[in-house]
Amino acid sequence: MNMLEKALERSLEKSKNADDKAELKKSEKDSLKAQSEISEPISEHQNSAADVVRFDWNRLGELGFIKKDDSHSRIAEEYRSIKRPLVTNALGARKFDINNANLILVTSSIPGEGKTFTSINLAISIAAEMDKKVLLVDADVAKPSISKVLGIKTKVGLIDFLETDSIPLSDIILQTEIPGLRIITAGKSHKFSTELLASNKMIALSKELSERYPDRIVIFDTPPLLATTQAEVLASQMGQVILVVGAELTPQNYVMESVKKLQNCSDVVLALLNKAQRSLNPGYYGYGQY
Ligand SMILES: Nc1ncnc2c1ncn2[C@@H]1O[C@H](COP(=O)(O)OP(=O)(O)OP(=O)(O)O)[C@@H](O)[C@H]1O
Ligand SMILES: [Mg+2]
């Protein structure tokens, strides 16, 4: 129990009415929990300092990801321009025009178009800014890759949280070595994962993440739109959607179909990210028109 909580306990003892006491305790504990998640001190539910996720920057660099303290590489430059409109929509003047503007879903039409690559790079790029906070959520629960790519061992994640009422949100939010970056992994595999992602609890979680942390950008890595219904279900809860398109990989009619699905499901701001192979630069591929 930390000092704040001890002080709370003492003030509760003085309370005359037992019912009021229970109510007060619950609401103040909730508010303490919310505060601790926002302002970093480690609460009883959070991971200890030993659990802070550290990244293997050399390996990430070899895989083409943005590297730590590397703001001049081409990939860092590209993500600077990709993130700008997203951040402006999420935190700038436009946030009042868009519902849940700080919730960003990353999807694609078919597998392997670069969703996870995009989600991680965006998260690192935004969190690298001093005053920005990012929560990266692996919502590709059938084929989770964020843990794999980032070398995270923790098993408890989104699905565990959705499945039961006994795991507090703070237990699944991992701290990382980047102060502004937190991660929620996909958690265990579950045969009803689609239903869990479409559940009221997931809707409540999205709402809570958007409203409780209005200064935080939440990025959801999701499955391909045309393969499962999960991304479509989630998209209706988001403010912004990035549709990653493999320029030389995805047939145009697939892209049109995906756009149609997204247009049907909600009033989101849709961005197309065109992952183009650059013929002038053999072996290199990056992101083009946005
Ligand atoms: N711009 C890029 N530069 C270098 N490598 C990339 C780029 N985009 C994607 N890749 C690589 O391509 C492969 C597929 O990308 P990724 O895993 O991000 O796709 P995905 O859409 O998440 O796939 P899945 O549908 O299987 O989840 C990965 O090895 C990734 O590192
Ligand atoms: Mg992926």
Q: Give the β-pairing of 174-175 and 181-184.
A: antiparallel
What pLDDT is attached to residue 286?
45
Weakest mean pLDDT among 17-26, 125-134, 181-190: 17-26
The average confidence (pLDDT) of the chain is: 80
C-alpha of residue 116 to centroid of ligand 1, in Å: 6
Residue 222 has pLDDT above 90, yes or no: yes
Q: Is residue 85 lining ligand 1, measured as CB closer than 6 Å?
A: no
What pLDDT is attached to residue 24?
38
What is the Cα–Cα distance from 188 to 240, expressed in whole angstroms? 27
Q: Scanning the structure block, which residue is given the tokens 């145009």?
A: 252
Q: How confident is the model at residue 266 (pLDDT cuts 50, 70, 90)?
A: low
pLDDT digits (tens, 9 = 90+) for 89-109: 999 887 888 889 999 999 999
Pick the atom of ligand 1 nearest to 244's CA: 21
pLDDT digits (tens, 9 = 90+) for 154-200: 889 999 999 999 999 999 999 999 999 999 999 998 888 889 998 99
What is the Cα–Cα distance from 195 to 59, expressed in whole angstroms? 35
Which two structure tokens, joined as six digits, stand for 59?
A: 């390996």
> Which residues are CB-contacts of 56 (< 8 A; sequence separation ≥ 6)?
151
Calculate what percentage of the chain has a pLDDT beyond 70: 75
C-alpha of residue 122 to centroid of ligand 1, in Å: 13
For 45, half-sphere exposure in the C-beta direction (CA atoms, 13 angstrom radius) is: 18
- In sequence order, which ranges of the chain are alpha helices (DSSP H)? 3-13, 18-38, 57-62, 74-91, 115-127, 146-150, 158-163, 169-172, 193-197, 200-212, 230-235, 252-265
pLDDT digits (tens, 9 = 90+) for 51-85: 799 999 999 999 999 988 778 899 999 999 899 99
Amino acid residing at 231: A
Most ligand 1 atoms within 8 A of CB, residue of 74, 116, 125, 258 to mutate? 116
Please compute the mean of the pLDDT values over residues 247-251 and round it to a whole number: 80
Rg of the chain taking only CA atoms, in angstroms: 20
- Cα distances from 252 to residues 111, 220, 258, 263, in angstroms, run 15, 24, 10, 17
Residue 5 has pLDDT above 70, yes or no: no
Most confident segment among 35-39, 42-46, 115-119, 129-133: 115-119
